[in-house]
Structure 1
Amino acid sequence: MTLPSSLTGEKAVLRLEFDGPLAVLTMDSAPMNLFDLAMWDAWEDAVGRLTARPPRALLVRAEGRVVSAGVDVSVFAGLAPEDAASFWRAKLGITQALEALPCPVVFAAHSLTLTAAFELALACDLVVATPQARFGLVERKIGFTPAMGGTQRLAQRAGPSRARELVMTGDLYRGTVLADWGVVNALFPPASFDADARAYAMRLATGPTRAHEATKGIVRRCLTGGVPAADTALPDVAAEVAATADHRHAVAAFLADGPEHTAEYLGR
C-alpha cells in the first residue's frame, strides 16, 4: 500500500510515499525539477521526517522528462555574499542528513541529472541509471563550485582526478561512463527503468535491515578513519548484529534449507 505525504502544500514539488518497508521520495516540479527555495525547503522537511522515523530503505526518483536541471539560477542572483556561507551550510546539511540515514538509500536517474540533484545522488548509497542518463556538475557556467558536497563525494567514489575533470570542465557524462568510474552501480533500460529501480530498492528494503545499517556504519568509519578505525569498531558492531532476530532466524533457515532459503527478514 502506498501512503502519500504532501511536503509542500496542495501541489507537492517533492512527494514522500511509503510502499510497505520502502520509502519513495519523488521530485515532481515540472518541467525541470529545479532546485528553487521551495524544492530545498521540501527536501529539508523530507530528510527531517526520514531521520525521525527511518524506513527500511529509501528510493529517490523524479517524475518528468529530466531528473533535474539543477539549481534555479535566480537563487544565485538573489543571494548576498555575506549570506552565502550560512545559506550553503544549510543546503550541505540536507546532503549530510540524507547520507546519515541508517537505511540503504538508492538514487534513480532516468535522464539529465545536474548540480544539486547530482550532489544528492552522490550522498546516496547506490545510484542506478539508464545508459543514456547524463550527469553533470556544471557550476563553472556561472563561475561557481558545487556547494552541496558533490566534489568531495565524487572524489571519494571516482578519485580526485575524475572529480577535478568533471567539475572543472563542466561536461556531461553518460550513465555508462559513470558506471565505468564506479559512480553508478547498475544500469537499467529506459523501458523498464521505473520498475527495475523500485525492485532494486525493494530488495534492500526487505533485506536484513540492521545488518545493512551496520555495513553503512563500517564503510563510513573506513572513509573517515581508514581501515584501522573500521577494524576497531567491527567486533562490537558484529556483536550487535549477531543479537538481531533477523540474523538468528536466517542462520536457522540456512541450516535447515541451505543458502537459497526464503526466510523473511523483518528488520529486527
Structure 2
Amino acid sequence: MSHTKYEAIGDVAVVTLANPPANLFDAGITDGLAEGLRRARSEGKRAMVIQADGPIFSGGADVNLFAERTAVEAREMFEEVLPLIGAIEDAPFPVIAAVHGLCLAAGLEIALAADLVIAAEGTRFAQVEALIGAATFLGGVYRLAERCGSARALEIVFSGDQYPAEAFERWNIINRVVPADRLREDALAWAQRLAKGPTRAHAVSKALVHHSLAHGPRATDRYLLDAAIPLFETRDMQHGVGLLLRQGSREFLENHADVVFEGK
C-alpha cells in the first residue's frame, strides 16, 4: 500500500508523504517515492516538490523495522532502500523538499537528497539515530558534511539534538525559511519557475556538482567536456544565445526572468 500521493501540476510533479500523523518511513513511503520519481520521469516533468501531509514532515523511520533484525537482514533492507536516495539525487530535474513541523532522521536524509530545501518557520531538524545507538543509515552524516562541513555535521549527529530551521539555513544545510502558511505556495512557485528553465542544463549542473564532490574539481574539469558541451546542440541553448544576441546584454539580463525554455 502506497503512503504517498502524486500530483501533476503543469510541468511540476508533487509527491506528498501521506502516512500520518508522523509520516514514518516504511515500505509504503519508500516505494511511493520511488514510483513518484519514475512517473515524473516518464511524464517528462521538469521539477518536483516533495512535501508531507499532517502536522510534521517526518519523524523518521518506523522503529518497528529495526526490532529483532539481524545485521544480515538489516543490510538487505538498506540495500533495497538506499537506491531511493540516489534516484532523488540523479533525477534529471530540480527536486525541492518542502518541510515543516519536524524533519527527523530518515525524513532529513530524504530532504538532504533533494537539490533544494525550503522549510516552514518553526520547523525543527535532527538526526536522532545516535539516541538509539544507530548511525545515519541513509547517508545523513556525510550529506550533512557536504553542506555544512564535517565538524558541524558530526555535532548534529553526535548530539541527536533538534535544531531550528533558522540555524540550518545559517549553516547552509537548507536554502530558505518561509512563513508556515506559505510553504506549499512558495515551494510550488519555486518549482514552477525552475520548470520553465533549461531542464537539460539544470541536469548537467546537478551532475557536475555530484561528480566534483566525489572526484574533485580537476577530475570534473575533464568530465565537464563530455557532460556540458553537448548543450551547445540543444534547442534551449540555441534559443538563449539567440535572445541574447537580438536583445543585447543589458536588456537580456534585465528581462531574463521572462525567458521560457522548452527543456529540450
Amino acid aligned to 2:231:
V
Offset, 1:52: 5.2
Offset, 1:82: 2.4
2:178 is the alignment partner of 1:209: no
Offset, 1:90: 1.5
2:109 is the alignment partner of 1:124: no
**SS of alignment partner, residue 129 of structure 1:** strand
**TM-score normalised according to structure 1 size:** 0.90
Identity across the alignment (%): 36
**SS of alignment partner, residue 51 of structure 2:** strand
Cα distance in structure 1, aligned partners of 2:105 and 2:38? 22
Offset, 1:120: 0.8
Q: Name the residue aligned to 2:173.
A: 183
Cα distance in structure 2, aligned partners of 1:200 and 1:179? 17
Given the superposition, is the C-alpha separation of residues 144 and 54 from structure 1 closer, same or farther in structure 2, using an over 3 Å criterion? farther
Cα distance in structure 1, aligned partners of 2:105 and 2:51? 15
Cα distance in structure 1, aligned partners of 2:66 and 2:122? 30
Offset, 1:208: 0.7
**2:262 equivalent among 256, 259, 266:** 266
CA deviation profile, 1:144-192 (whole Å, cap 9, x unmatched) = 1110111111111111111111111000111110111111111211121
2:141 is the alignment partner of 1:159: no
Offset, 1:226: 0.6
Instruction: Please give the root-mean-square deviation of Cα atoms over the aligned residues, in Å.
Output: 1.7
**SS of alignment partner, residue 92 of structure 2:** coil
Amino acid aligned to 2:261:
Y
Q: Name the residue aligned to 2:72.
A: 82
**SS of alignment partner, residue 66 of structure 2:** helix
8 Å contact 1:54–1:103 — kept in the other structure?
A: no
Given the superposition, is the C-alpha separation of residues 239 and 82 from structure 1 closer, same or farther in structure 2, using an over 3 Å criterion? closer
**TM-score normalised according to structure 2 size:** 0.92
**SS of alignment partner, residue 15 of structure 1:** strand
Cα distance in structure 1, aligned partners of 2:69 and 2:32? 19
8 Å contact 2:127–2:160 — kept in the other structure?
A: yes
Amino acid aligned to 2:202:
H
